[in-house]
Structure 1
C-alpha cells in the first residue's frame, strides 16, 4: 500500500501464522565418580564430568530469520574435574 493512500485496510489473516515452538536454551549434565576402584588405581579421590550446551535445540512451525549481524550460535563445553 502506498503511503499516499489513506483508506483503511480491511482486517485480514493473510500474515498471521500459528507459532508452535519447542526450544531448549541451556542444558547442563554432570556426573560425579566417587570412591571407585578404578579411581583409586589412578590415585584419584573424585572425578566429575560435565557437559554444558547453549541454544542447542529449536523446532518451530514458523521459520526464523537470523542474519549476519545476529547469527544463531550453538555453544558446547565439556569439562573434567579431578581431586587427588
Structure 2
C-alpha cells in the first residue's frame, strides 16, 4: 500500500477565479456568491468588490496585488493498494505462474487557503483504477 500526499506551505498565488468571477463578473451570466455578498451597495461602503451597477460597472479591473493570496495546500494525490499471489500453493492450485490485483484512487482531496473553482459539471472527481495481471 502506498499513499501520496502533497504539501505547499508559504506560497502565494493570484486568485484568477476571484478576479474573473468576482471583480470582473458580468451580470448577464452566473456570478460567484462572494460577489453578491462582498460588493459595495452604497457610496462609501468598505467592500472587497466594486458595484456591478452605476458608473464603474463597465470598467475592468486588471490583475493586481489585491488578488494575490497565501496559497497553502495539503492534498492527497493517490492511494495504491496491490497484492501478488505467487506462492507455490497458488501455482499448483490454479496453474498460473502469478496473479496480481491492484486498485488505486487519485485526487482524493485538496485543501487550500484559496477557494478554487473546479467547475460546475464535474466539480471534483476522484478517479478509481482497478487492474488484474496474470502470468501463465
Gap change, CA 1:35 and 1:4, over 3 Å in 2:
closer
Residue matched to 2:85: 33
- Specify which structure has the bigger relative contact order, considering alpha-carbon pairs within 8 angstroms and separated by 6 or more residues: 1
Gaps of 5+ in 1: 6-10
What residue number does 1:75 align with?
A: 127
Q: Which structure carries more strand by proportion?
A: 1
Name structure 2 gaps, 5 residues minimum. 1-49, 51-55
Aligned residues: 78
In 2, Cα distance between equivalents of 1:32 and 1:4: 63
Structure 2 vs 1, CA of residues 17 and 41 (structure 1 numbering), >3 Å: closer, same or farther? same
Q: Which has the higher helix share?
A: 2
* Superposition TM-score, scaled by structure 2 size: 0.42
